Amino acid sequence: MKSSLDLAYLLYCRPHLGGSGVMSLELAKQMRRKGHNVTLISYPGTFLSSEEQEMGINLVQTQAINYPCFKSEPFSETFASVIANLGEEKNLNIIHANYAITHGLAATTAKRILERKGKDLKVLVTSHGSDIHTNGHHHLLAPTIEQILWESDAISFVSESLQTEAEELFPSIKNKGEAIYNFVDTDRFRFSEDERRSIRSAEKIPDGATVIYHASNFRELKNAQDLISIAINDKEEEDARFYFLMVGDGPEKTIMEDKVRSLGLEKYFHFVGKKENVVPYINASDIVVLPSKRESFGLVLLEGMACGRPVIGSRVGGIPEVIQDGENGFLFSKIDELYVFADQIRRNTDLGKRFGEQGKLMASSKFSVDKVVGQYESIYYKMVAGN
Ligand code: GMT
């Protein structure tokens, strides 16, 4: 039997909401369940649920320095010091930095600090998306991101498409990383008729309506406004129309709300804000839609699939690795197709059911906890063994 590891995760954690934080927190919990020692390192204000505390997960937060000459908080430096101090106190095997920028830099800096002190800390950087496909192209960030990835002991990417893009962008890291998909806990993300009924009744959604679920941080690249085109094209009778459950918050939410209001469509769009537990909202829906301009994976789609929902997503980045076109949902390239595909699923309930069943199967095989957590664990052991 292999010995248990001392693992530290540098991550965005609640109250911050976002795919990379959700994923890395879930990974940390799964590793704790496997018997490893787990420490989370995150920002001021981070908190653990009582379940996480009872599991014996440690949380170490950095603090704001608030020195008046600084233009911004030096989080890369404070995180590096937090990791280095922790590595001096105990025999930390691995620091797993989720997101290259800030977190990856702190991890590789801490590695060098500890090296000077005769300690061997291994660094895994997971690229979650915009650290490559958006910020990775920025000339003020690219050289540093490449250096972080180059200095780390191992890199993982949440999709093959993200890995390909990263290796094209930074040839120096070729053959160093591997794609490890995001995963979903199918014990938690599962269909419940009670939840469906309760949310639909609370939101006053008519029984005959087809509900589209969208969750995001409403940044420009999430393209949530394209969903309005579905409502504009909808010619159905009042009670059989498309309704929209919009979960999350972000810069474009108010713009979208204004647009919806000016078009007189506010009855159909339900902006419910940030939710710690999104499962009841997914279950209240009939289709999950992600119309992003760029997306490395699209965790929202996988969560929908686990609950047996058909999914529609734009043909960009890693989405085609999550949606098998015509199998568990549809991929669209042009905005007009969005309405056509949603309408097709609405009219053909057997098709929606078939897509949902296939998605559920994929969630419990290609994207299962056992499979993906096992892949991370095997990287950790390889790193510790020096491979
Ligand atoms: O890279 C980002 O934009 C941040 C990150 C987040 O915290 O939401 O999102 C990314 O990570 C998720 C988890 O791996 C992926 O499911 C998302 O597709 C990805 N977002 C983008 O690529 C835009």
Give tens-digit pLDDT for 145-183: 999 999 999 999 999 999 999 999 999 999 999 999 999
The architecture in CATH of the region 6-183+368-385 reads 3-Layer(aba) Sandwich (3.40)
**CA 78–ligand 1 middle distance (angstroms):** 24
| 298 vs 293: CA distance, rounded Å | 11
Same fold, 6-183+368-385 and 193-365: yes
Ligand 1, pocket-test mutation among 130, 160, 220, most atoms within 8 A of CB: 130
CA dihedral 198, 48, 33, 183 (to 10 degrees): 60
Ligand 1 atom closest to the CA of 126, numbered from 1: 14
**CA 90–ligand 1 middle distance (angstroms):** 32
What phi, psi does 72 have (nearest 5°)? Answer: -150, 165
Closest CA to 23 of 381, 220, 319, 298: 298
pTM: 0.96
Angle ∠(320,326,332) on CA atoms, nearest 5: 55
> What integer pLDDT is reported at residue 127 of this predicted model?
98
Q: Does 249 score more than 80 pLDDT? A: yes
Ligand 1 atom closest to the CA of 295, numbered from 1: 22
Find the residues whose C-beta lies inside 6 A of ligand 1. 18-21, 23, 128-130, 158, 182, 221, 294-299
The predicted model gives 218-233 an average pLDDT of 96
| 384 vs 366: CA distance, rounded Å | 26
Q: Band the pLDDT of 50: cuts 50, 70, 90.
A: very high
The predicted model gives 292-318 an average pLDDT of 98
Ligand 1, pocket-test mutation among 10, 13, 20, most atoms within 8 A of CB: 20
**CA 22–ligand 1 middle distance (angstroms):** 10
**CA 183–ligand 1 middle distance (angstroms):** 13
What percent of the chain clears pLDDT 70, i.e. is strictly above it? 100
> What integer pLDDT is reported at residue 17 of this predicted model?
77
Q: Band the pLDDT of 1: cuts 50, 70, 90.
A: confident
Closest protein CA for atom 23 of ligand 1: 295
Ligand 1 atom closest to the CA of 222, numbered from 1: 23
**CA 116–ligand 1 middle distance (angstroms):** 34
Which one of 3.40.50.1860, 3.30.1340.30, 3.40.50.2000, 3.30.70.3340 gives the CATH number of domain 193-365? 3.40.50.2000
Closest CA to 11 of 69, 59, 81, 49: 59
Give tens-digit pLDDT for 274-296: 998 999 999 999 999 999 999 99
Ligand 1, pocket-test mutation among 23, 296, 302, 321, most atoms within 8 A of CB: 296
Give the chain's mean pLDDT.
Answer: 97
Angle ∠(191,194,195) on CA atoms, nearest 5: 65
Break the chain into its structural domains and give their ranges. 6-183+368-385, 193-365
